[in-house]
Chain A
Amino acid sequence: MTTARVAPSPRRSLRAAAPLIRAAIRRVPTPLALLLTVALVLSVAWDVALPAFQGPDEAGHFSYLQHLAETGKIPSATTGGKPNSTEVQAALNWLNLKALIGDIRAAPAWSSADLALWHQVEHALPSGSRGDGAGPNALAKNPPLYYAVMSVPYRMLVWLPLLKRLFLLRLLNALFYLATIVLVWMLAGELFGRVLWKQTLAAGVVALQPQLAFMSAVINADNLLIALTSAVLLASVRLVKLGPSLARVLTASGLTAAAVLTHGRGLVTIPVLLTALVVSFIKHHTEVRDALARTAAAGATVGGAALAYVLFGRAGGSSGLYGGQASELNAGTGFKLGQFLSSIYQFYLPKLTELHRRVGPAYGYRQVFIDTFYGAFGSLEVAFRPPIYDTLQVLSALGLVGLYTAVVTHWRRFWRSWAVVLVMLALLITNLLFLHYVSYRSLLGTGGKEPLIVGRYLLPMVSLFGLAVAFTVGSLPKRVGPFVGAIILAGGALLSLTGVGITLVRFYA
């Protein structure tokens, strides 16, 4: 005798889940809910302010996503007759969006007559116009996770015209930004305990980081990478704090694998995971056999993901495993350790007489850590006024002095938290070394023309930025700290509004 089981209808399932969802929402602390609302509003505003394909390399990222979603294949990095699909290329041409990229003197075709013309062009596109962007696409060397994740909403929205589809995809992309804010909130909770104002300050600084909010409205794999790197940091901190249980090891290594499958710059999470594992084993006196088993589990997770990528990439005809910054890891020849170290020194500090001139243009701390980290929008052509960057540079220097002072005055607390500190340092140091190394390689390979790195490559460490601000401000006397925190958040809100405003004016006024 068989028993027939009736599956619950979707409506009934939703009705059953509703109380759980309501309860989950009620559990979100009010300050976090407010910050997430603020961030969502900012992201939608950025989506409106930024015309299609005007984010960094956005056409290339969208084309990768589109080709994967339409055909199930990764586009080629080197071959093929069309970097973009016929549909995307038509929009770039007919709405003057191609000429607009990075050129402050161009404007998009923004009138109702232009839109009517675009409708005619779009309706006349032949079938197959969405799936024929097979390459060469320089971004095809990126691993596929971000594009695969975004393929799901793409397929759901495929019936919409291009501009509407892109707008909604960008909105969904904002989920990674919101996730990053939640992760920083949780990280602050792990580090400072349940001190809501410090958690709010850390997460608020991240939510109001203009470059991050801007990127949330751009189709770009960086968004998932930033969220995943923050998640790896949180998982690693929990690993060293609570001990290397199998579940925690698998969570941390699973997130690391996801970061590795998202972007070449995700490779920097591997040293973070390794540091967390070793520190956790030492701190929690793990037996050698258990430590080996857990290391093997972590290795298998990350290695399995990498292997899957190699096989998938080969099957899809992708000619390289990683592109962009990661491709510079072993590019070219002529590496000289002294020159490399000298280039790092001169990136931050004025040249000493004994040192050789730095390879490449005058490009250093100011351009990467200030100008393009706090905000350079569009394809870097939309920027705040120079005095704003000057102010940010002074305030950042003050913040660093404050952080140093806080560390020195709280050195006992730091010493007690050595395990967590080591994990965070691992992320900071590997990320910076990675970026300096690929920048140096790129400068060697391009005759000193292309330093390659910009401030948004620091965004995977944005959680450290938020935590550092909260720690420094939290170390101030109690009469002062909340005031400084409020001023910092107010400054962040002003910067964010300015960023949206100048971008809207640049593209539409």
Chain B
Amino acid sequence: MVYFAKWKIILVAIVCLFGIASAFPNFLSEEDAAGLPGFLPSQQINLGLDLQGGSHLLLEVDVASVLSQRREGTVDSIRDGLRRGSPRIGYRRLGVRGECVGFDLLREADLDRARRIVRDLETNSFDPTLDIDVDGLSITVCATQTGQREILTSAVQQSIEIVRRRIDELGTREPTIQRQGSDRILVQVPGLDDPERLKALIGTTAKMTFHLVDQSNSAAASCGSGRRRPPGTVCLPSVEDRDANNNPLMYLVKRRVMVDGENLVDAQATFQDGQAVVSFRFDSVGARRFGDVTRQNVGQPFAIVLDKKVISAPVIREAILGGNGIISGNFTINTAQDLALLLRAGALPAPLTVLEERTVGAELGADSIAAGEFASVLAVILVIVFMAAAYGMFGLMADVALVLNIVLIAAVLSMLQATLTLPGIAGIVLTIGMAVDANVLIFERIREEARNGRTPISAVDSGYSRALTTIIDANITTLIAAVLLFQFGSGPIKGFAVTLAIGLLTSMFTAIMVTRMMVVTWLHRRRPKKLPL
């Protein structure tokens, strides 16, 4: 006898009501949804960047540069340590040797002390980050696998922090910035009107340093291929200024960093004599150093270097003691603002490379939503009409289930806060077509059983039970495809996999539970002699 347990009816009713309540906020404006009473769900479906407009950037931290910087840092630390030793530890040939750092001691007696100095650089006592190799008087220090991983992790985390600060300065809402893989950062910024500016901001390392310019030698004589630079100096190109041959003007600056941009606490774009400039302020350490350097070098040019390019090299007119200063260059108000922003947010530990960009304008997003909505509604109408025409009253029951199915998909998407993308909409439309499949299977089976001479009730009964295995077998195969798509797909494709999988599960529920309940209830009420199928 066909019978539907009370608890099942209640369960179905609860799921449906809950589904409707969860899907409901999506039909309201954002403000109205937020204003719903607390006991009702108010979460709306998250729209993907391809629907709401925005930029998706995949960035890569320059691992080689991170490691090479760290090697330079190790050289400096070792030098400091050796020099500070008392009595002094004699050494020579301290420098980067391939992937490692090495130096030679002058006396064997210093070996233990030198080893201890290097050992002190160790950051992790459980899992060594440094591999120290002693060969006679020669010591080689290499980062272990763990060490390299730690260096990379901290560089990526620091980069994420800096990128977040920079993007926050742009005043966009809810950017997503997360680590992906070992050396990548995924940035998703919704609703941005100038993706080029975003890329320029992220693509700048913004490492600022202040150097003295070497006055005793001329840049023209020292820079360029085949010319010798005096020791302790470096040739850096100007950002803006060009020489007669339209090559960037070169500056010969002292390698030693007098003041570091790390000590900046604030930077703002302002005007000075009608020219856009960036004013900055140092913290106490920076202010003291800046004061010392400027006091000792009045009359000398002082190069302001950003990412190995000289912004300008003004002559120091007097000691600047308050820790405030101004950078002038050929700025427009926009470039001055961006530089101020970068200085405020801080420098990236290593350059970031944009591996992939996908930017969608808000207008295209809105068009996509409109087109997707129209196609979905049309698909629903077509399928509803077709099902009614093919199965009459049973078809209408399947139609109710279909509509409920869509409501449930919206509900699950809202509850999981899954992201709906344009391919995701395609997934919903596809589900609309395929969701009725379970019902079609069942109805066809019932028809067949009835034709074989079963009574309506027995036909319905065996129709459902026999179709069930087929439905499950058939849906699991599609679910396999959806799961793999989710695993291997990127962004929008993941969205497709999500709606496809949710749609399959909800359609199984609506077909097996909801239409069955309707059919059974109808059979009990009417007790028909013949099925209208």
Q: Report if A and B associate in a common complex.
A: no
